[in-house]
Amino acid sequence: MGTPVNIIVGSNVWVEDPELAWIDGQVSKINGQEAEIENTNGKKIVAKLSKIYPKDMEAPAGGVDDMTKLSYLHEPGVLQNLKIRYELNEIYTYTGNILIAINPFQRLPHLYDGHMMQQYKGAPFGELSPHVFAVADVAYRAMINEGKSNSILVSGESGAGKTETTKMLMRYLAFLGGRAATEGRTVEQQVLESNPVLEAFGNAKTVRNNNSSRFGKFVEIQFDKQGRISGAAIRTYLLERSRVCQISDPERNYHCFYLLCAAPQEEIEKFKLANPKSFHYLNQSRCYELVGVSDAHDYLATRRAMDVVGISAKEQEAIFRVVAAILHLGNIEFTKGTEVDSSVPKDDPAKFHLKMTAELLMCDVDALEDALCKRVMITPEEVIKRSLDPQSAAISRDGLAKTIYSRLFDWLVDKINVSIGQDATSKSLIGVLDIYGFESFKTNSFEQFCINFTNEKLQQHFNQHVFKMEQEEYTKEQIDWSYIEFVDNQDVLDLIEKKPGGIVALLDEACMFPKSTHETFANKLYQTFKTHKRFIKPKLSRTDFAIGHYAGEVLYQSDQFLDKNKDYVVPEHQDLLGASKCSFVAGLFPPLPEETAKSSKFSSIGSRFKLQLQSLMETLNSTEPHYIRCVKPNNLLKPAVFENVNIMQQLRCGGVLEAIRISCAGYPTRKPFFEFINRFGLLAPEVLEGNYDEKVACTKILEKKGLKGFQIGKTKVFLRAGQMAELDARRAEVLSIAAKTIQRRVRTHYARKRFIALRRATIVMQSICRGSLACKVFHCMKRESAAVKIQKNMRKYQARSTYNKLHISVLVLQTGLRAMAARKEFRFKRQTKAATIIQAVWRCHKAVKYFKKLKKGSIVAQCRMRGKIARKELRKLKMAARETGALKEAKDKLEKRVEELTWRLQLEKRLRTDLEEAKAQEITKLQNSLQEMQHKVDETNALVVKERESTKKAIQDAPPVVKETQVVVEDTQKVDSLTAEVDSLKASLEAEKQRADDNERKYNEAQTSGEERRKKLEETEKKVSQLQENLTRLEEKLTNLESENQVLRQQAVSMAPNKFLSGRSRSIIQRAAESGHIGGDAKTTMDLHSPSINHRESELEDKPQKSLNEKQQENQELLIRCIAQHLGFAANRPIAACIIYKCLLQWRSFEVERTSIFDRIIQTIGNAIETQDNNDILAYWLSNASTLLLLLQRTLKASGAAGMAPQRRRSSSATLFGRMTQSFRGTPQGVNLSLINGGMSGGVDSLRQVEAKYPALLFKQQLTAYVEKIYGMIRDNLKKEISPLLGLCIQAPRTSRASLVKGSSRSVANTEAQRALIAHWQGIVKSLGNFLNTLKANHVPPFLVRKVFTQIFSFINVQLFNSLLLRRECCSFSNGEYVKAGLAELEHWCYKATDEYAGSAWDELKHIRQAIGFLVIHQKPKKTLDEISHDLCPSINLSLELLF
C-alpha cells in the first residue's frame, strides 16, 4: 500500500482525516518517522510516515474506469477515483472484473435505454465504459459458450441500489433471452412483483436500516438450449428465525406482524388483535412504528401483491390467521402447576390467548396445552408423559412459533415460484444473489454473529475468485507468481464453524445442557480460544467476546446466544398441527417418515444456519461468479452528496479493500510499456536515445534504478507495492534538478534585462531635465502673448454685453404687446365656440326629446297591435281547446291540483279573515271596558266632589265646636275610603292599559304573519296560473298530434299499392303543371331550378314518366350534396334549412304519399352528427333542424282532423321537445323566420298551410327526435366538460382558506391570489362562455339556448348541493366563502349573457345559494329555526316539506 521511504519534502500525499477519511496535502517537513503536512485547507497536520500514502498528480482528470489502472492502488486513491467519477455521473467503476455501483439517487435514463443495451450486446468486457449490462453480458456469453451456469452476487447495504441493479440485470437478461411476456408480464416483472410479499414476511427494522432483509435471496433465471429464458425460481437462505421470538431495542420484529395489527377494523376484530404493545413478541422493543411509513397502507399493498402473485383470498386469510396465531401464542405465559416441575397457563389472559391460538390454528385447546406443557418419552417398556417446568414450556412455545413462521415463509416462497414458473429441464442458469451485508452495531447479538459468519464465507469465496483472476492475469502475461502469498480468512471460519472446537459447536453443546448459562458459555470460549489471534477477550466484561473479521473487529454480547440458538424439533407439535382442521395449517406440517417422527433430537438454529450456508456455497461454487458491489454514497438519500467515511466503511464491509489488499500482495501497479517509458524515460535518457525494444527499454530503466522483485510481462510492467512511489520519487529528483538549472538561467536573464532597462531610464531622465528648462522659457513668452489676447477679448465682451441687454429689452416689449393682442383674439374665439356648443346641445336635446316621444308612441302602438293579434290567437286556441280530450287524465290531475291550491288559498283567506275579525272584536271589547272604567272613574270623582261640597255646607251650618269635630272625623274616614277606592281604580286602569298594549302587540304580530301568508298565497296563485298555462299547451298539442295520428292510421289502412302508384304519378304531373305558381322567389337562395317554369311545363307534356323521375332524382341528389356541406348563415338564418324547406315545398313532397327524399335528409343529418364531441357541428345542425321543424310545424296540417275524436294514448308529446315543438305554433322569441321567399312581409303568419301526407308527418316526427337527440348531445358534452371542475369547486384548497376568510382588505397581490384560487370556477365560466359563443355563432334559437343553460345550472345546483350534504368537511365558513366567490363568477356570467340567452338559469341555483348563504352568515346560534327556514333558506325548507 505504499512505502514511507519514498516520501520526501514537497511530495503530494494522502493523510487520514477523522471527518473526510482521507485528505490530500503537501509534505513541508520530515522529522524522523513523522512528517508535517499542509493540507488543501491550509491547516498543518503531523502524521507518521507509515500512515501516509503518495498521491498520483498525473492521474486523469476524469478518473480511470478500472482501479487496476491506478498508479497507486491504495484506499485514498480508490476513494478519490470513485468520487471524481461520481461527480461526473459515472456511477460504475471496475476493480478488475468486479463492478462497483454507486447509487446516484436520481434518474439516469440514458444509461438504461434500448440503445445502450444494444451497444453492450456481445461487446468484449472492458471495451466499453463500466456498466451492469457488461457484467450481465459476460455471464450470458460464458453460459452460452461454455455451457456452465453463472451467478452474479449483488451485495451492499439497504439503499445502495441492490434492487434497481437486480432489476437492470434481469431486464438485460430478458433482452438477451428474448422470451415473450407471460400473461402480459415478463419474468423480471413477475420476480419483482413478489418483492412486497417477501419484504413483508422477511424484512424487519434494524439499528441502521428500517427495511433490512433478514434472509438471503438467490434468483435463478433458467435458459433452454437455445439461450432463451425458459423459467425462473427464487431460492431463499438463512432466514433469521430467532427474530420471531426475541428482538432488541430499537429494532422491530418482521413487518407482517405490525401490518396485521394495522389492518382494517373487521380484520382486527376477527383475529382478536390489539395494539402491538400488547403482544410479547412485539413489545420487547419500544419501536412500534416507522417514520414516514403507514402500516395500514402497506397492509393493503401486501394484499394486492399477494393477489398479483396468485395467492387466493382464502389462502391469504389462512396466512394472516397463522400470523395472528403466532402473536397470541407469544402471549401465553406459564406458571408452576400443582405437580412437581409442571406448568399451566398463568392467568385468564394466558388462557384467552391459548384459546385464540387454538381457534386460529383450528386445533384442540387441551391438545395445544399438552403439546406446550408436556413431553412424551417412548421407552421399550412403556410410553411416559412428562411435565415441563414453566421455563421449558416457554422454550417449547417459542420453538413452536419459530417453526410455524419458518414453514409459512417457505410456503410463500414455493407459492411464488409456482406463480413465476420453473423449467425443470433447464441445464443452464444465471443466478442473482441478494443477501444481507456485514453488520457491526453497538450491541451485537446472535443475529449479527450468523450474518457476519455468512459474509465471512462469501468473502472467502470472493477472495478465492479475486486470487483466481490475479492468477489468470499473471498467466496471461507469462510472469512468475509462485512465491506470492495471498490474504486468507480461513482461520476466522475455523474459529466459527470447525468441529468439534468451533464457536457454533460449543454453543450447541451448551444448549444441550439444561443448566448452562451465557456466563458458562463465555468462559468456555475464553478457555478454548485464549491463544487464537482472531478471538479477543474484552477487559471490562465477563460475557462479551470479539472476533477480528475481514471488515474489522466486532464485539458480541453473549447474553441471549443460548436462548436464540435453541430450536427443538418436538413431535407433539408436528402431530398437533398436522391434525389441524385448517387444510392450510395441516399442509405446513405434512406427516414425517416413521424414523424421523420417532427421533426427538435436539437441533439448533446455528447448526441449521451452517447447513443452509453450506448449501448456498455449494450452489455458488457450481457456478461461475461475477461480483457487483453496490455503495450508498450518503445517508441523506440525496444526489451529489459523497460521504467519504460512510463509503470507506461500505468498501471494507463489501470486501473491495480486501480485494485491493490481495492485489497489493502481488503486483498492484501494472503499466503498459508505452505509458511506463513515456513517464519514466527521463530516468535513463540513454535508453530513449538508443534504438531499443519497449520491453528491453523498460527492463534497463528498472535495472538502472536498482529495483528488485518487478516482473516484465508480454505487454505490461508489473511492479510490487511501493516501487511506483520510489520511481516517482526518483523522477521528482530529476525534474527538481532540471527545474533548478532552468531557474538559474532565467534569473541571469532577468538581471541583465534589469540593467539594460536602468541605463535606458537614466538617458531618458537627462533628456527630460533639459526639456524642462526649455519649457520654462517658452512658458514666459506664452504668458505675455496671452495677456494681450485677454485684454482684447475683455473689451470685446463688455461692448457685446451692452448690446445684448438693449436687444433683449426690445424683444420683451414686443412680446408683451403681441401677447395682449393674441389673448384678446383667443377670448373672442372661445366665446364664439361656447355659444356654438350651447346651440348644438340645445338642438340635440330637442331632437332626442322628439325621438323619445316618437319611439314611445311607436312602442305603444306596437304593443296594442301585438296584444290585438295575441288576443285573436288566444281566441283561436281557446276554440281549439274546447274540442280537445286526449290529455284528460293529465288535465284532471292538474285541475285537482288547482282545486286543491284554490281550496288552500280560500282556507288561508278565510283563516286570515276570521283572525282579523277576532282581533277586531277583542280590541272593541277592550275599548268598551276601558270606556266603562273611565266612566266609573268620572262618577267616583263626581261623588268625591259632591261629598266635599256637602261637607263644607255641613261645616258651615254646624253650630258648636264639639259637633264640628265629630263631623270632621266622619268626613275624613269617608275621604280615605274614597281615596283608596280611587287608587284601586287607577291600578285596574293601569292593568287594563297593559292588557291593551299586549293585545295591540299581538295584533301587530298577527298582521305580520298575515302579510307573510298573503305573500305565500300570491306565490300559490302564480303557480296555479303556470299550471293552467301548461294545461293549455298540453291540450293544444294533444289536438294536433291526435289528428295527425288518426290521419296516418287511416291512410296506412286504406292505401293500396296500385292506387298509390297511379295516384303518385298523377300527383307528380299535377305538381309539375302547377309549379309555376310557387317557386318564383326560390331562385334567389340557390340555383337549383334555374330553367324557366314555362319551359319545364312544355317538357313535362312531351317527356314520359321515366324522364320525370330521373329529373326528380337528379334534383334530390343535388339537394343532398348541397346540404351535406357547411353552407353557413345569411342574415342570421341557416341557409341549409331554408333550402330544404323551399325545395320540399316547391316539389310538393309534403303532399306525396311515397317519397325517399325525407329518409335521405334524415340520413344526411344523422351522418353529420356522428362525431358527438364537436359542439360546433352539433350546434350548426341544431340550428338547421330546429328552424326546419318550426317551418314544418307552421306549414303542415293533418287532413281530416276536424271530425275525428282524439284517442287517449301517450305519445312523444310528453317529452321535453314534444312540448317545444307544440310551442312552435307561436313563433318563439329570437327565431327569425322572415327568410321564406325572401321578401315576404308577413313572415311566419303568411306561410300557407299544406295538407300533409303520411311521409311528411313521419318526417316531422323523425326531425323532432333528431332535434331532441342533438340537444341532448350538446347538453351532455357541456356536462362532461364541467363535471371534473365541479368536483374541485365544492372544497377550497387547505392553504387558501385563511386568505378567503380575510376577504379583500389586503393588497393587490391578495386579489391575484384569490383569482388563482377560483381558477376552477373560472374554468367553468370559460366553458360556459365558449359554449354560448358556439351557439351564438351557429344562430341557435335563443329559447333553446335558455333551455340548455337552465338545465346546466340545475345540474350544477344538484351536484354542488349534494356534495355539500354528503361531505361534512365542506360545511365550513371558509369553504362557504370559497363557493360564494365561485357563485359570484356565475352570476356575473349570467349578467353578461343577458336574459335573452341566460333566462332564469340563475334562479336554478337557489338551493346552493341559500345553503352557502347560511354557511357564511355570522352569529348562527342567534338565528331561530323560523328565521332559518323562512328567511335564509325558504327554497330548501319548501323542498323538505314536499319530500316529507
Numbered residues of the known binding site for ATP: 156-163
Active-site entry in 39, 163, 520, 1067:
163
**Is 158 annotated as catalytic?**
yes
Q: How far apart are CA 962 and CA 1155, in angstroms?
A: 138
HSE-up of residue 897 (Cα within 13 Å, Cβ side): 16
Q: What span, in angstroms and rounded, lies between the C-alpha atoms of 989 and 1289?
A: 65
| CA atoms of 231 and 179, how far apart (whole Å) | 9
End-to-end CA, the chain: 93
Phi then psi for residue 180, to 5 deg, are: -75, 160
Is 1396 part of the annotated catalytic residue set? no
Q: 1176 is written with which cell numbers?
A: 360546433
Long-range contacts of 1371-1374 (CB under 8 A, 24+ apart): 1371/1415, 1372/1297, 1372/1415, 1373/1301, 1373/1415, 1373/1416, 1374/1292, 1374/1297, 1374/1298, 1374/1300, 1374/1301
797 Cβ neighbours under 8 A, 6+ residues apart: none
Q: Is 203 a catalytic residue?
A: no
C-alpha cell at position 1172: 358527438
Separation between Cα atoms, residue 748 and residue 754, nearest integer Å: 10
Q: Which residue from 178, 660, 580, 639 is spatially nearest to 364, judged by alpha carbons?
A: 580
Catalytic residue among 2, 177, 431, 437: 437
**Is residue 439 flagged as an active site residue?**
yes
Q: How many CB atoms lie within 10 A of CB 723?
A: 22
Kindly name the residue from 149, 212, 403, 604 that is annotated as catalytic. Answer: 212
DSSP letters for 484-519:
------HHHHHHHH-TTTSHHHHHHHHHHSTT--HH
H or E element at residue 150? strand 150-155
Which H/E stretch holds residue 125?
none
Task: Please confirm, yes or no, whether 213 is among the known catalytic residues.
Answer: yes
The Cα–Cα gap between 748 and 144 comes to 72
Are the C-beta atoms of 1173 and 1277 separated by less than 8 Å?
yes
CB 1145 within 8 A of CB 1089: no
CA-to-CA distance for 702 and 704, rounded, in angstroms?
A: 5
Q: Is there a contact between 65 and 129 (Cβ–Cβ < 8 Å)?
A: yes
The one catalytic residue among 68, 95, 103, 158: 158
- H/E stretch holding 1058: helix 1057-1074
Q: Which three cell numbers stand for residue 646?
A: 460512510
In the set 12, 39, 129, 209, the catalytic residue is 209
**Known binding-site residue numbers:** 156-163
In DSSP terms, 711 is beta-bridged to 718
Q: Are 1329 and 1281 in contact (CB under 8 A)?
A: no
- Residue tagged active-site, from 25, 96, 159, 1399: 159
Q: 1198: part of which helix (H) or strand (E)?
A: strand 1196-1198
Q: What are phi and psi of 1425, to 5 degrees?
A: -65, -35
Q: How far from 482 is each of 272, 479, 645, CA to CA, in Å?
A: 69, 9, 36
Instruction: Determine whether 212 is an active site residue.
Output: yes
Please identify which of the residues 213, 253, 580, 1184 carries the catalytic annotation. 213
Q: Which of 240, 333, 439, 1151 is catalytic?
A: 439
Within the chain, how many helices (H) and strands (E) appear? 46, 28
Whether the CB-CB separation of 684 and 677 falls below 8 Å is answered with no
Q: Using H for helix, E for strand and C for coil, what is the string for 1021-1040?
A: HHHHHHHHHHHHHHHHHHHH
C-alpha cell of residue 645: 467515511
Cα separation, 981 vs 347, in Å, equals: 91
Neighbours of 612 (CB within 10 A): 17
Sequence-separated (6 or more) residues with CB below 8 Å from residue 21: 76, 79, 644, 645, 647, 648
| Cα radius of gyration (the chain) | 55
Catalytic residues: 158-159, 163, 209, 212-213, 437, 439
